[in-house]
Structure 1
């Protein structure tokens, strides 16, 4: 099984010890049955000695089986803990492009449902491991006791497994379908949470989302989990009935056909009854084991970045004066008959301390350029150079550390970090809150914001503060001022940006605020995936009407 292979790959020594403990428990269990058959049924020898020996066997059995179960539970949950850490680390190391292809709903489903399924499987693992080894030891004892009865019993149980396998296949089929339905349910949850305002304003949309999408996926999950449980119940009942039937078969062959004595038949029956509990438990655990296997397949299908030992500290690229994009290209592939969209080739040089504005219509490629510049998107062609030196693949993470950003879809973290993840000084935080006019609205303690539930404009101010506290060389602002009131928008362009420039920061601001174009050292324009610099009369003509007329092909 894939789950056991994965567990054994990194835990050979402890798992070998657990198997040895389980083997000892199984041998002791069979020894208890044999002791009952040889000593207690006939009551031969000293009674006190016999009773003490029996109690001693029971004590050894409890100790060995208990130790094996504790060890396997501990090992299993440590494995799940490492798996969860590994998955989150791989998500953090995976390129933005791949994460956007996967979608947030699938990632959340794997982080929650798939990890939960694997955890549940490990809850059953000690019992299953013990039951498997016990069955092997017990059947070995039965084969020694009476080969003829063992042969007919093995054939009977083989028929049991053959029919049971049909039920197991049905269970596996429906668990796969319900796991697909679960992915769709997470997409529905995300739509309901992210679109709560639009759904509150449009009850028709809310009704259609609920009735046509959510209810469809919820019914698919319900139907498949019901069928999986039904087939699993049938498998359990079939196994239970056939195990009891094997006892009748043993006595028929022993008494009716004279294959064995009554004592041997009684021992056979006792042993089979003893095995009934672990066999039925195995059948009951099958859905969890199948779900865990499917969850592992789902995790592999995410195709995340390879696992690394840890999230290492990234070295700095050092001081710089000029950053160049040379012939940078990027392509959005088309879907079906829809044509793709090409960005570039782009040639751009940013110098330290420059204040650069980037304008362009919706879909012209502005945000794509920002992502290419910051290294969030890997270019399909061209080079990125720092002071004339080409950035190599192994330097990509270090290159990204030059940037801080506030994108339109930013996330506001509550923890405040300084340069190189250092603790921030409260006085510096206070200065920024004063600059952003948030001193009396925002509380922070122990390096964290006490609350992040503010208006979008205020959240953007806090996001800007977090970006500046990191003290990166280059700041990317994607339509940052769009949610600010006119008074603070003026303060941003006339006071904050000049202060950042004076501090030696390079700022690339995507903006449509033509009233403040005079603040920029340079004015760039994206149009149809191509970059142009507006100078002289072209810059003077970059009025609000001209900006509105800029066309594009895809959302930027």
Structure 2
């Protein structure tokens, strides 16, 4: 895909109409040059009435066609930019989580911020390029009609000039691609800077190492690429601008000695070439932005996100599945490569059954595969082998979305939205306030009639309670909590294990809890112990004295 195809995909008829207006702008401009040349040839006095009327008509035509072309393309540009952002966001939502994790948050952020902006700027370059092309074509047609001999010389000179301009563009495109790759690393460093502020402020050695070995070298490399690219652009653009005067010099001083050319033809060509300088200079200035847009668009395509550009919305879940009495993992395996390790880590084969009205604790050391198992259970990861069954029915790829709708979750790396989207409006408002009181947050947070939270600037434990509030309001048949109590104070940890989990069980919910709190293992109906990706023989819950 290129930028022009992206525009055509938005509205082919609009693009064609805009191009026609751009060509009309060029033809009317050529007509104005012809009328100016006629008026100058007549000495500026006693100009024919037809020439004056023609000049006025062509001026109005040029103005109208130029405005029409710009309005059409600018409208198409804004529509296409919106569609690009919309499609990119929706394709991210339809792409498997594992693929997004492989790409990494910095690369996705760089795409959503940097690439979309570059593509938008590139699209913004298309309107003036089309209009400038129309002007150049119109004037060149006029020059070809006026003097084929001089026009042939102009064509030869133009081809040499274009070749000298385009040759360095390959190097510039290479620098653009290198700069784009470096931008991914730079976004990663910025993410470390913003997320690791506390750690960096508390350790001067780490802070210096981060600045001198990570952030600043990457920023300096990015600066070097941008400086070299800008230098080449300046040299190439300046060379292109000087070509006009080189040609005028050849036209005035060399061509008359080679072939007979009338003074009126020389004057007309000089005037036309000077007139062409503005649209061509403008085109040379905006071509680098167009090139950056092309590179950014290719980078977006290399993300290999799922979904097609024609999908209006992410795949709908359809009618929700009925609350299951059991969910089975049958010989499920998942293989992935962990950071810093050369050999892949294999989880499984896992054989588990989770039943309604049952609390299951998943326990094990760090790196044993607990969170990966949670993502398999909830359908966020697809198993490499084995199958997941809901009341005996196999969950297929087509049914994955509906299966995920069974779960309300709070993961350890949860995200707290600033409003309870569709969960606290109308009849749900009273329930939301009830849960807010039960979670002891009624003095910290207020929920308005649209579900917006008055604040999310809370402690981690309180933010987790708000995430739990959203999970309660979803009221799904299966609840999964990943180290939810790790950030809670002792009092609320007791409430979570001794009151909230039993209440969910009494409501017939299937509850899965990842936990290290062995003091509360007696709450579980069953312990699932993981070690190096494998399930150890099931043991009865162990009661730890208070």
Q: How does 1:19-34 map to 2 (within 5 A)?
A: 19-34=19-34
Q: How does 1:121-136 map to 2 (within 5 A)?
A: 121-136=122-137
Contact preservation (8 Å) 1:424, 1:469: no
Between 477-486 and 50-59, the greater mean CA deviation after superposition: 50-59
Distance 1:188 1:334, change over 3 A: closer
Between 229-238 and 375-384, the greater mean CA deviation after superposition: 229-238
For 1:65 and 1:168, how far apart are their aligned partners in 2? 29
Distance 1:417 1:12, change over 3 A: closer
Structure 1 unaligned spans of 5+: 545-556
> Do structure 1's residue 473 and structure 2's residue 481 form an aligned pair?
no
The total of aligned residue pairs comes to: 540
Name the structure 2 match of 1:309: 312
Name the structure 2 match of 1:7: 7
What SS is found at the alignment partner of 2:368?
Answer: coil
| 1:514-553 Cα distance to aligned partner (Å, 9 max, x none) | 22222112222112212245345xx44x869xxxxxxxxx
Name the structure 1 match of 2:357: 353
For 2:430 and 2:329, how far apart are their aligned partners in 1? 38
For 1:369 and 1:182, how far apart are their aligned partners in 2? 33
Between 403-412 and 278-287, the greater mean CA deviation after superposition: 278-287
Deviation at 1:47, TM superposition (A): 4.3
Contact preservation (8 Å) 2:200, 2:206: yes
Tell me how large the CA RMSD over aligned residues is: 2.0
> Do structure 1's residue 442 and structure 2's residue 445 form an aligned pair?
yes
| 1:56-96 Cα distance to aligned partner (Å, 9 max, x none) | 21111101111101111111121111101111111111111
Name the structure 2 match of 1:18: 18
What is the TM-score normalised by the length of structure 1? 0.93
Contact preservation (8 Å) 1:94, 1:304: yes
What SS is found at the alignment partner of 1:408?
Answer: coil
Contact preservation (8 Å) 2:125, 2:287: no
Contact preservation (8 Å) 1:174, 1:224: yes
> Do structure 1's residue 318 and structure 2's residue 322 form an aligned pair?
yes
| 1:285-329 Cα distance to aligned partner (Å, 9 max, x none) | 121011001101110111111232213542212232111111111
For 1:389 and 1:337, how far apart are their aligned partners in 2? 37
For 1:104 and 1:77, how far apart are their aligned partners in 2? 27
What SS is found at the alignment partner of 2:335?
Answer: strand
Deviation at 1:207, TM superposition (A): 1.4
Name the structure 2 match of 1:150: 151
Distance 1:524 1:334, change over 3 A: closer
Distance 1:424 1:278, change over 3 A: farther
Correspondence for 1:497 among 493, 501, 526: 501
> Do structure 1's residue 71 and structure 2's residue 75 form an aligned pair?
no
For 1:283 and 1:132, how far apart are their aligned partners in 2? 12
Name the structure 2 match of 1:396: 400
For 1:335 and 1:532, how far apart are their aligned partners in 2? 25
> Do structure 1's residue 231 and structure 2's residue 235 form an aligned pair?
no
For 1:361 and 1:40, how far apart are their aligned partners in 2? 90
Name the structure 1 match of 2:431: 428
Contact preservation (8 Å) 1:199, 1:205: yes
Name the structure 2 match of 1:248: 249
For 1:224 and 1:418, how far apart are their aligned partners in 2? 47
For 1:235 and 1:83, how far apart are their aligned partners in 2? 31
For 2:270 and 2:194, how far apart are their aligned partners in 1? 58
Deviation at 1:491, TM superposition (A): 1.2
Name the structure 1 match of 2:217: 216
Correspondence for 1:407 among 405, 408, 411: 411
Between 280-289 and 119-128, the greater mean CA deviation after superposition: 119-128
What is the TM-score normalised by the length of structure 2? 0.94
What SS is found at the alignment partner of 2:362?
Answer: strand
For 2:48 and 2:422, how far apart are their aligned partners in 1? 78
Deviation at 1:267, TM superposition (A): 0.9
Structure 2 unaligned spans of 5+: none
Contact preservation (8 Å) 1:417, 1:470: no
Contact preservation (8 Å) 1:324, 1:386: yes
Contact preservation (8 Å) 2:22, 2:65: yes
> Do structure 1's residue 117 and structure 2's residue 121 form an aligned pair?
no
Contact preservation (8 Å) 2:123, 2:293: no
For 2:40 and 2:506, how far apart are their aligned partners in 1? 94
Distance 1:382 1:211, change over 3 A: same
